[in-house]
Chain A
Amino acid sequence: MTPDIGLFSLLLAFFFALIQGVAPSLSPRAVVGQFFCLSLSMFCLIICFLTNDVTVVYVQEHSHALLPFIYRIGAAWGGHEGSLLLWCLILSGWTLLFRMVGKRHLTDSFFTKVLMILGWISAGFILFLLATSNPFARFFPTELITGDDLTPLLQDPGLLFHPPMLYFGYVGFAVGFSFAIAALLEKKCDATWIHAIKPWIILPWALLGCGIVIGSWWAYRELGWGGWWAWDPVENASLLPWLTATALIHCLILAEKRDAFKGWILFLPILTFTLSLLGTFLVRSGVLVSVHTFANDPKRGIYLLIYLSVIISGAFTLYAARIKYFYQAPFFQFMSRETSLLLNSIILLTAVATILIGTLYPILLDALHLGNISVGEPYFNLVFIPIMLPWLFLMGLAPYLHWKKTTTSYLFKKMVSPIFLSLTLAWIIPTLSGCHFHPLAYTGIALSFWVIIATLRYAKKITLTLPRYSMIIAHIGIAIMVLGITITKSYSEEKQVRIILHDTVDLAGYQFTLNQLQNVAGDNYHSIEATFLIREPNQTVFVLSAEQRVFVSHEQTMSKPGVAYNVWRDLYVALGAPLSDNAWSVRLYYKPAVRWIWFGGGLALIGGLLSLLSFSRKRSGA
C-alpha cells in the first residue's frame, strides 16, 4: 500500500509541476501542491525502508533486515532512484522557499516567470524519475529474502548529511538560473535584480561548499588511506558549480558598484546550474565508470543527455539573442578593482575548464578510439596548482585596488611590507618548527601568509561593515585551507608496516605499539579491532583503535581507521589485511595541519553566509 501511495503522489507532483510551468495564475498554488506531493512520496519511501518492504525493488537492492535504523533513513537516498527523488524534493523545497520569501521587490511578471521556469525544470526531472528510475517499482519474490544491503562504505553518519547537503547546493542554483532566464526574457537586469538574486546564489554556494567539506572529511575517515581529496570525477563534478558560483558572487559586487558587466552576471548563473546538471548527468549516467556502461543501460543516460541539451541549448541561445540589450562599456584601467574581480572570474573559469578537461578527456579519447588514458592527481598537481597560485596572490592584493584606476606607486607602497613579512615568516616559522625546506611548500605557505597579513592589514585601516567582515573571514578561511593543504602535502609521513602483537613502530617521533587484537561484533558486521598504544614525543601515552570490518551480507571487508587529532596534527592508523605468522599489515600516517583544510573551508563558508545576514538586515530596514 505505502509504495502505491508514494508512486501516486509522485505522479500527482508531476501534474502540479506542469501546472506550475504553464499556468501563470495557478503557479504559486501549484508550488505548494508539488512540495506536498513530493514530501509524501519521500516519506513513503522512507517508510518502505523502515519496514524493510522487499517487494519494492529499490528497497530490496539497498536495504537489509539487519541494517541499523538510522542508515535505513539514509539508504532512502543511498541509490540512484531515491537520490533523484531527493533531488526533486529539494528543488521543490527551494521553489517553495522562493515563493514564500522571494517576492518582495520583484514585479509580479518577473516573480511568476521564475516560478514557471522552475516548474519546467522540475517537470523534466519528475518525468525522468517516472520514465526510467521509478523508486517504487515492485517485484513480488516467491521466497524469503532479506535484501542486498547498503554498500558498507555508505554506512556512516556522513550518508545522512553529505548527499542532501550537496543536493541543497546543486539544486539551489536552479533559482539563480531562473532569475537569469527571466531577466533575459524581460530584457531587464537592474540593481533590484542584483540585490534579489544574491541570497539565491550565496545560500546554495554555502550549502554546496558544506557538502564538499563534509564529503572530504567523510572520505578521510572512511576510505582508510588518509586521503581527503582524490580528484575523483564525482568530487570534481561537485567542485565545478561551486567555483563558478564563487566567481558569480564576486561579479555581483562588481555589477552592483559599477552598474555594468551585466553579460557576466547573466552568464554565470546559467553556467553554474548547467554544471550542476552536468554533474548530475556524469554521476547518474554511468559515463564516468566507462563509456561502455553508458551503452549497456542507455535509457537513463540518453534521457538525461536530451534534458541537459534542451536546457543548455535553450538557455544559451536565449543568452546569445538577448545579450545585446545588456551591453555597456564602462571605463576602467588595468590596475583597478574591476580588473581584479574580472581576473578572479577568469582564473576560476580556467580552473573549471581544467577540471572539465581532466575529467572528460579520457572519456572523449576512449569514445573516439584514440587510446585509453587515466587522468589523476599528478595531472591536477601539475596543471591546477600553477593556475591557482596567482589567484591567491590576487586575493591579498584585490582589497587594496581602487575602483577604475590605481597608481602603481601607491600599490607598491602598500604592498612592500606585507610581501616582505610573508616571505620572511614563511621561511622562519617552518624552520623553527624543524621542517626541512621544500620549494612548493614555501610558495604555498608564503602565499597563505600573504593573504592573511594583507587582509588583516586592510581590516585595520577601514571601518568594518558586515560585507567587509564577510570578505575578511572568507579570505582568511581560504588562506587557512591552503595552509593546511600545503603543510599536509609537504610534511606528512606514512609507513606501511608488517607487525605482530606488542611490536613497536616509530613514525615522525611517535611510537606506535600494537597492544591488543580482539573480535568485536556489530549490528550487521563482525570486526577485528587492533588497539595501539601511542607514545608522543613528550612521553604522554594514549590509546587508539582501528578496525577491519567484515559485513555479514556481502562478506565485504572494510577498514575503519582510527584517528587521533589535535590542532597541529592527526595520527591515523588503518588496519590492513592479515599476513602470515600472526602478522598484520598496518598503515600509519602522521598528517600535520590536515584539520585546517576543513576548518578553513568551514570558515570561508561562514564568511559567505555572514554577508547574507547583512542582506536580511538591509531588507528589514528598507
Chain B
Amino acid sequence: MKIFWDDAFRVCSIALLLVLAIPAFASKDLYPFSTPDQQNRFYTLTSELRCLVCQNENLAESNAALANDLREQIHTQILNGKTDNEIIHYLVSRYGHFILYRPPLDASTIGLWAGPFLILLIGIFYLVKRAQK
C-alpha cells in the first residue's frame, strides 16, 4: 500500500511540475526568440563576433557594456527578420573588419586563408618526390 502511495505521489508531483513548468519555460530566456532557428543563429553570430573593448573575447562571452549593447542590437535585428549577412554588413560598416573573428577572404588576407594549405601541399609534394618507386 505504501509503495502505491509513493508512486502515486511521484506521478502527481511530476505531472504538477510539468504543468507548472510549461508556461514558465517560454519567457525565461534573456534573449527570447520565436523559433529555435533564430536562437541558433543568435548563438552562432555572437560567438563569431569580437567584443571590441575586451582583450580577446567574443560577444557571447563578454560582460562588457558594449558587448551587451551589441547583443541587444543583434537580438532586435534577428527578431526584425534581418538575415545574418545583413547584420554582419551593418556591424562591419560601423566597426570595421576588426569585429569579425572570421576575416573575409580578400587580397590582404589571401595568405591567411591559403597559406596553411599551401604549406601542407608543399610538404606532401616533397614527401612523394622523396619516396622511391
**What is the interface of chain A, defined by CB distance below 8 A to chain B?**
223-225, 227, 230, 232-233, 289, 331-334, 336, 338-339, 342-343, 346-347, 349-350, 353-354, 357-358, 361, 365, 370-379, 382-384, 387, 494-499, 503-506, 511, 539, 559, 576-577, 585
* B123 within 8 A of partner (CB): yes
What residues of chain B lie closer than 8 Å to A350, measured between beta carbons? 116, 119-120, 123
* B131 within 8 A of partner (CB): yes
Minimum CB–CB distance from B113 to chain A (whole Å) comes to 7
One of B63, B112, B124 near A346 (C-beta < 8 A): B124
* B38 within 8 A of partner (CB): no
What residues of chain B lie closer than 8 Å to A353, measured between beta carbons? 115-116, 119
Does B112 contact A333, Cβ atoms closer than 8 Å? no
The size class of the interface chain B forms with chain A is 35 or more
Does A498 contact B30, Cβ atoms closer than 8 Å? yes
Interface string of B104-129 (1 = CB under 8 A from A): 00001101110111011001101110
* B21 within 8 A of partner (CB): yes
Does B120 contact A371, Cβ atoms closer than 8 Å? no
**A375-B124 contact in complex given A230-B56, A333-B132, A357-B115, C-beta closer than 8 Å:** no
Does B30 contact A378, Cβ atoms closer than 8 Å? no
Q: Could you tell me the distance between the alpha carbons of A615 and B84 in the complex, rounded to whole angstroms? A: 57
Q: Could you tell me the distance between the alpha carbons of A230 and B58 in the complex, rounded to whole angstroms? A: 10
**A358-B112 contact in complex given A333-B132, A346-B123, C-beta closer than 8 Å:** yes
One of A349, A370, A372, A506 near B98 (C-beta < 8 A): A372
The contact sample of 5 A-B pairs, CB cut-off 8 A, is A225-B60, A227-B61, A232-B56, A372-B98, A373-B109
Does A576 contact B120, Cβ atoms closer than 8 Å? no
What residues of chain A lie closer than 8 Å to B108, measured between beta carbons? 365, 370-371, 373
**What is the interface of chain B, defined by CB distance below 8 A to chain A?**
10, 14, 17, 20-21, 24-25, 28-31, 43, 47-48, 50, 55-56, 58, 60-61, 63, 96-103, 108-109, 111-113, 115-117, 119-120, 123-124, 126-128, 130-133
The 6 lowest CB-CB distance pairs between A and B, nearest first, are A376-B101, A346-B123, A378-B102, A354-B116, A225-B61, A334-B131
Q: Could you tell me the distance between the alpha carbons of A567 and B20 in the complex, rounded to whole angstroms? A: 31
Q: Quick one: closest B residue to A354, CB to CB?
A: B116
What residues of chain A lie closer than 8 Å to B58, measured between beta carbons? 376-377
**A378-B48 contact in complex given A357-B111, A576-B63, C-beta closer than 8 Å:** yes
Q: Could you tell me the distance between the alpha carbons of A495 and B10 in the complex, rounded to whole angstroms? A: 28
What residues of chain A lie closer than 8 Å to B111, measured between beta carbons? 357, 361
**A336-B131 contact in complex given A372-B98, A376-B102, A496-B30, C-beta closer than 8 Å:** yes
One of A233, A332, A357 near B131 (C-beta < 8 A): A332
What residues of chain A lie closer than 8 Å to B21, measured between beta carbons? 504, 506, 511
One of B10, B100, B126, B133 near A333 (C-beta < 8 A): B133
**A495-B131 contact in complex given A357-B115, A378-B48, C-beta closer than 8 Å:** no
Does B28 contact A498, Cβ atoms closer than 8 Å? yes
Residue of B31, B116, B126 with most partner-chain A CB within 10 A: B116
Q: Could you tell me the distance between the alpha carbons of A343 and B116 in the complex, rounded to whole angstroms? A: 15
Does A374 contact B101, Cβ atoms closer than 8 Å? yes
Q: Could you tell me the distance between the alpha carbons of A354 and B29 in the complex, rounded to whole angstroms? A: 38
What residues of chain B lie closer than 8 Å to A511, measured between beta carbons? 17, 21
Q: Could you tell me the distance between the alpha carbons of A371 and B110 in the complex, rounded to whole angstroms? A: 13
Does B25 contact A506, Cβ atoms closer than 8 Å? yes
Q: Quick one: closest A residue to B56, CB to CB?
A: A232
What residues of chain B lie closer than 8 Å to A342, measured between beta carbons? 127, 130
Q: Could you tell me the distance between the alpha carbons of A343 and B131 in the complex, rounded to whole angstroms? A: 11
Does B55 contact A289, Cβ atoms closer than 8 Å? yes
What residues of chain A lie closer than 8 Å to B20, measured between beta carbons? 504
Q: Could you tell me the distance between the alpha carbons of A230 and B54 in the complex, rounded to whole angstroms? A: 14
Residue of B30, B111, B117 with most partner-chain A CB within 10 A: B30
Does B98 contact A373, Cβ atoms closer than 8 Å? yes
Does B28 contact A361, Cβ atoms closer than 8 Å? no
What residues of chain B lie closer than 8 Å to A503, measured between beta carbons? 24, 28
